A and B are shown apart, each in its own frame.
Chain A
Amino acid sequence: MPFITIDNQEIEFEDGMTVMQACELAGVEIPRFCYHDRLSIAGNCRMCLVEMDKSPKPIASCAMPATEGMKIKTNTDSIKRARKGIMEFLLINHPLDCPICDQGGECDLQDQALHYGLDRSRYEENKRAVKNKYMGPLVGTIMTRCIHCTRCVRFSTEIAGVDDLGLLGRGENAEITTYLEKAIESELSGNVIDLCPVGALTNKPYAFKARPWELNKTESVDIFDAMGSSIRIDTLGKKTLRVLPRLNEEINEEWISDKSRFAIDGLSKERIDIPYIKRNGKLISTEWDEVLNRITQEISKHGKENTLALSGKFTDIETLFATKYFVQSLGSNFFDCRYDNAQFIENQRSSYLFNSSIQEIDNAEVILLVGTNPRWEASVLNARIRKSYINNDCKIGLIGKKIDLTYEYSHLSDNIEHLNDLLNDRSPFSELLKNSKKSLMIIGNSAINFRDGKEVLNVCSEIAKKYNISTNNFNGFNVLQQDISKAGAIDIGFYNNDFAQNFDQKIKDHISKFNPVVFLLSCDEINHSILEGAFIVYLGHHGDVLAQLANVVLPTPAYTEKSSTYVNMEGRVLQTTRCYHPLGESKEEWKIFRSLSNNFSQKLRFNNLSELRNEISNLFPVFKEINNLPSSSKLDFGSATKIENRVLEYNIKNFYMTDVISRASITMANCSREILNKVA
């Protein structure tokens, strides 16, 4: 490998690196505004100047390729003077409004001005003022503060794939704007707020709420989709004020979707914080003891052995485990997580996981999407597909309705039937798949949430084997889960084969036959007509439709209020962190079931969270290791049945409102109104 000398220190670097990257290797930090690891190089802020031997002028280190034998100096007097000069230029038009700027305290310009700024201004002319632009309900703008680094423009064109932002004019007239003042039409738009080095693009819902140094910062895991992105939750007292992405190369790089970032205002709306009991058709607030006694009576009355429990979008492993063992202790085996009717194959972990790992998308040459709209089901993952499309010219094929995915793809068919053609080599995509060295297949919920879901999985598995999508040492057969709860629920066996294939009908039959007590674990997405005749115990944190139908409502903490274990779509075990104590009288679900079990013959065997977790990992060894990617398993199932004709419909109709929290969020309501033109 070639060598470069940085501040008299000789260091080895990789071919293709820039001088700035080489400096980083040497542990020298170079100040910058426009350069960003994940964006193309613009070289327009000039803050990164360094001295290079034989060059009479300083060079922009972010744009200069490092070459063998270069001698770079980063801390000479002339460089300091040059950077001071640049800083002075940047500040000519930058307002001195830090005291009223939301970026204050976490502003690159502020920080670097501390080192390179002059303590007085030599500029007597007026500063320019730029009209603020309207960029939608999420991104606030104070454009006078913009320093024209164009990071936001590069992000939206390169990563988000929407050509909405641009830099118009030049010199003094330059300004960042959207085409005709419309909202940025991307599910990732919030990331421009983090990218903007100054306070020009800011978090609109968070405007003037707090200063960064007064916030409590908790590292946690996002639960709004099944990726389990790494996030940081900033709270003040019992209020979640904002969510930021954390760097995680394997999952979300450094992005998160707008839902993960902005749905949090829903956490303080329509909350259930005390137990309720229904009397004369009305939910009346009451005491814990009373509800627990009532539930105990009802369970005995309705027949313990028929008790049913259904999990929802956010149900964590602790809850699932406690529920399962509680229900079993009653002599019942009726519990299920397939409220969306998405099928899988029992005891085949690879039939419900994203086996290749999210990171492998970067290396894919061909990607086949089956009944999935990744842009809405996992927005950050979709950005990775786009990245692969741009960097390795990855070819993408879609079976499903035509949609805008932010990259080009060949639309193979609207109909799931097309799988038959693929299997028999009659698809226009067959040739591509045959010649590709690394292909992925991504199967979405809409492909498998039907009674023939299992057959679809089996045929897909055959296709994967046939085209070497899945080989001995690599498994490119992927199921894209939509809910963070799903993979884990299947992992701990929270399902009953009796309910397979047609969830609604079978649950309905069960309920009308036995009229049992039904525990709904924040299960809000089911068709409530199937619950008729049941005694409904709703456990959850939001007063959504089903809570209102319930006979008993038990308050439980939201994801910011408890530490939970989840399994993401790749099968990685992840743990969230509690940011503050549960609201009101809410109690964790496992505590509720633990105390309920006191009233029955069999007590659950744990008394606190660590005992519970021990118990879980003893019974299910996958939970022993956290954050690890499971080793990919081979496809051990598959059969070539004929798939029946069915037009695919994506099950998510509104990205901004998919669950109880986002449905309660005003910000999300604004987004769906403005961006999707849907009345919320």
Chain B
Amino acid sequence: MKHPGMINIVSDTSNEIFEWSERNFSKVKIVIEKYPAGKQQSAVIPILDLAQRQNNGWLNRSAIEKVSETLSMSFIRVMEVVSFYSMFNLEPVGKNFIQICRTTPCWLRGSNKLLDVVKEVTGCNLGETSEDKKFTLVEVECLGACCNSPMVQINDDYYEDLNEDNFRKVLLKLKNNENINKGSQSGRRGSSPEKN
């Protein structure tokens, strides 16, 4: 299956109608105000992001239509933006959206093994969502945290200095809805030198 952010087709299957929540709508207004009058289209990316967050991590047709209506843009113009950026998902995703970095530094530091772990724990292959809807697994290029490689991003947070053990723990905790620590899993602060 494909990365849900790299497809060009809007999912029509859900009949849910997207309406802005009150909180998000006030945010929408703040974002639009940042741009000169009549140039509200410039706000399309942050507004789509708000919509995606409100809609459990993906954009259905109704959400995209809402955004185009909010910004007085045509549907196809918004759709061009949505399909261009892989960060906008066009299919439902699991509660934890796992982006595993597979670029050279992480790979040298063992991202392959992490991939095996995550496949085993979640039961998904790349691009897939687990049956319990808890995980979606995709691979990405360098996320700019190579200094603490290997790393993965889960939803908005980075998890760094991973190895098979601590990564498995993280995933199991997520599976059991337990709290986990963000950032480095080896306990170091930032990228301070590792003791050995």
Residues of A within 8 A of B (CB): 163-170, 173, 175, 177-179
Q: Is B11 an interface residue (CB 8 A)?
A: no
Q: In the bound complex, what is the Cα–Cα distance between A167 and B79 (angstroms)?
A: 9
B75 CB-CB contact with A under 8 Å: yes
Say yes or no: A169 contacts B8, CB within 8 Å: yes
Least Cβ–Cβ distance between A407 and chain B, in angstroms = 14
Contact A170 B76, beta carbon cutoff 8 Å? no
Given contacts A168-B80, A170-B84, contact A179 B75 (CB under 8 A): yes
Q: List 17 A-B contacts (CB under 8 A).
A: A163-B74, A164-B76, A166-B76, A166-B77, A166-B80, A167-B80, A168-B79, A168-B80, A169-B6, A169-B7, A169-B8, A173-B7, A173-B83, A175-B8, A179-B75, A179-B76, A179-B79
Contact A177 B8 (CB under 8 A): yes
Q: Report the Cα distance A422→B5, complex, angstroms.
A: 55
CA distance A164 to B6 in the complex (A): 21
By beta carbon, the residue of chain B nearest A178 is B76
**A165→B76 contact, CB < 8 A:** yes
In the assembled complex, which residues on chain A have CB atoms less than 8 Å from the CB atom of B8?
168-169, 173, 175, 177
Tell me, in angstroms, the Cα distance from A166 to B8 when the chains sit together. 11
Question: Which chain B positions have C-beta within 8 A of A164?
Answer: 76
Q: A173-B6, A175-B8, A177-B8 are in contact. Are A168 and B83 (CB under 8 A)?
A: yes
| A179 CB contacts on chain B under 8 angstroms | 74-76, 79
> Which of the residues B74, B75, B77, B84 comes within 8 Å of A169, measured between beta carbons?
B84
Chain A residues with CB under 8 A of B80: 166-168
In residues 79-95 of chain B, which contact A (Cβ within 8 Å)?
A: 79-80, 83-84
Cβ–Cβ < 8 Å partners of B6 in chain A: 169, 173
Interchain CA distance A46-B145 in the complex, whole Å: 34
Chain B residues 81 to 112 lying within 8 A of chain A, measured CB to CB, are 83-84
Kindly name the residue among B6, B8, B76, B83 whose own CB sees the greatest number of chain A CB atoms within 10 A: B76
- How far, in Å, is B68 (CB) from chain A's closest CB? 10
The smallest beta-carbon distance between A560 and chain B, in angstroms, is 37
CA distance A409 to B80 in the complex (A): 27
Other contacts beyond A166-B76, A166-B80, A168-B84: 6, CB < 8 A: A163-B75, A163-B76, A164-B76, A167-B80, A169-B8, A173-B7
Closest to A172 in B: B6
Q: Note all chain A residues with C-beta closer than 8 A to B84.
A: 168-170
**When chains A and B are docked, how far (Å) is the Cα of A177 from the Cα of B75?**
12
CB-defined contacts of A175 to chain B, threshold 8 Å: 8
Q: Whole-angstrom distance between the alpha carbons of A164 and B77 in the complex?
A: 9
Q: Are A169 and B76 in contact (CB under 8 A)?
A: no
Interface size class of B (residues with CB under 8 A): 10 to 19
In the complex, which residue of chain A has the Cβ closest to the Cβ of B76?
A: A166
- Which residues between 30 and 84 of chain B lie within 8 Å of chain A, taking CB atoms? 74-77, 79-80, 83-84
Residues of A within 8 A of B74 (CB): 163, 179
CA distance A392 to B17 in the complex (A): 40
**B2: nearest residue on chain A (CB-CB)?**
A173
State which of A163, A173, A178 has its C-beta within 8 Å of the C-beta of B77: A163
The residues of A that contact B75 with a CB separation of less than 8 Å are 163, 179
Residues of A within 8 A of B83 (CB): 168-170, 173
Residues of chain B within 8 A (CB-CB) of A167 are 80
Residues in A whose Cβ lies below 8 Å from that of B7:
169, 173
Q: Which B residues lie within 8 Å of A169 (CB)?
A: 6-8, 83-84
Q: How far in angstroms is the closest Cβ of chain A from B179?
A: 37
What's the Cα separation between A178 and B74 when bound, in Å? 12
Nearest chain-A residue to B68 (Cβ)? A163
- What is the 8 Å Cβ interface bit string for chain B, positions 3-40, against chain A (1 contact, 0 not)? 00011100000000000000000000000000000000
B76: chain A residues within 8 A (beta carbon): 163-166, 178-179
Cα–Cα distance between A163 and B84 once the two chains are bound (Å): 18
Interchain nearest-CB distance for A669 vs B (Å): 28
**Distance from A180 Cβ to chain B, minimum over Cβ atoms (Å):** 8
Chain A: which residue is nearest B80 at the CB level?
A166
- State A633–B76 Cα separation when bound (angstroms): 47
* Residues in B neighbouring A166, C-beta threshold 8 A: 76-77, 79-80
Max chain B CB contacts within 10 Å: which of A165, A166, A175?
A166
Which residues from chain A contact B77 at a C-beta distance below 8 Å? 163, 166
Give the distance in Å from the alpha carbon of A71 to the alpha carbon of B118 in the complex: 58
Q: How far is B83's CA from A179's CA once the two chains are assembled, in angstroms?
A: 13
Closest A residue to B84 by CB, please name it.
Answer: A170
Smallest Cβ distance from B187 to chain A, in angstroms? 39
Q: How far is the CA of A164 from the CA of B74 in the complex (A)?
A: 8
Closest-CB distance, A211 to chain B (whole angstroms): 34
* Residue among B8, B74, B79 having the largest count of chain A Cβ atoms under 10 Å: B8
Measured CA separation A178–B8 after assembly (Å): 12
CA distance A165 to B84 in the complex (A): 15
**Chain A residues whose C-beta falls within 8 Å of the C-beta of B79 in the assembled complex:** 166, 168, 179
B5 to chain A, nearest CB (A): 10
CB contacts (< 8 Å) of A178 on chain B: these are 76
Q: Chain B residue with minimal CB distance to A170?
A: B84
CA gap between A179 and B75 in the complex, in Å: 7
Write the chain A residue with the least CB distance to B75: A179
Q: CA separation between A12 and B6, bound complex, in Å?
A: 48
For residue A177, which residues in chain B have a CB less than 8 angstroms away from its CB? 8
Cβ–Cβ < 8 Å partners of A163 in chain B: 74-77
CA distance A164 to B75 in the complex (A): 9
A144: min CB distance to chain B, Å: 15
Please indicate which of the listed interface residues A165, A168, A170, A178 has the most CB atoms of chain B within 10 Å of its own CB.
A168
> For the complex, what is the distance from the CA of A451 to the CA of B170, rounded to whole Å?
84
What CA separation (Å) do A163 and B79 show in the bound complex? 12
Chain B 165-184 interface residues, beta-carbon cutoff 8 Å to A: none
Bound-complex Cα distance A28 to B6 (A)? 42
Looking at the assembled complex, report how far the CB atom of A643 sits from the nearest CB atom of chain B, in whole angstroms.
36
Instruction: Tell which of A169, A173, A178 has the most Cβ of chain B within 10 Å.
Output: A169
Smallest distance from the beta carbon of B62 to chain A beta carbons, Å?
A: 13
9 closest residue pairs by CB, A with B: A163-B74, A166-B76, A168-B8, A168-B83, A169-B8, A169-B83, A179-B76, A166-B80, A170-B84
CB of A155, distance to nearest CB on chain B (Å): 14
* CA distance in complex: A654, B91 (Å): 40
Docked pose: A166 CA to B79 CA in angstroms: 8
Central interface residue in B75, B77, B83, by most chain A CB within 10 Å: B83
Query: Bound complex: CA of A267 vs CA of B76, how far in Å?
Result: 37
* Alpha-carbon distance A365/B76, docked complex (angstroms): 30
CA distance A163 to B76 in the complex (A): 7
Q: State in angstroms the CA–CA spacing of A179 and B77 once bound together.
A: 10
B178 to chain A, nearest CB (A): 38
Q: How far is the CB of A181 from chain B (nearest CB, A)?
A: 10
A5 to chain B, nearest CB (A): 39
Give complex CA distance A572, B77 in Å: 41
Point out the residues of chain B lying under 8 angstroms from A165, CB to CB. Answer: 76
Assembly CA distance A170 to B88 (angstroms) = 13
Question: Shortest CB–CB separation between residue B172 and chain A, in angstroms?
Answer: 35
Q: Measured between alpha carbons, how far is A492 from B20 in the docked complex, in Å?
A: 65
- For the complex, give the distance between the alpha carbons of A662 and B6 in Å: 44
Q: How far is the CB of A131 from chain B (nearest CB, A)?
A: 10
* Residues 130-171 of B contacting A (Cβ, < 8 Å): none
**A508 CB, nearest partner CB in chain B, Å:** 50
Kindly state the separation between the CA atoms of A220 and B80 in the bound complex, as whole angstroms.
40
Query: Shortest beta-carbon distance, B87 to chain A, in Å?
Result: 13
For the complex, give the distance between the alpha carbons of A81 and B75 in Å.
Answer: 41
Minimum CB distance partner of B10 in chain A: A180
State A219–B6 Cα separation when bound (angstroms): 48
How far apart sit A178 and B79, CA to CA, in the bound complex (Å)? 11
A13 vs B84: C-alpha distance when bound (angstroms): 38
With a CB–CB cut-off of 8 A, which chain B residues contact A173?
6-8, 83
Roughly how many angstroms separate A164 CA and B84 CA in the complex, as a whole number? 17
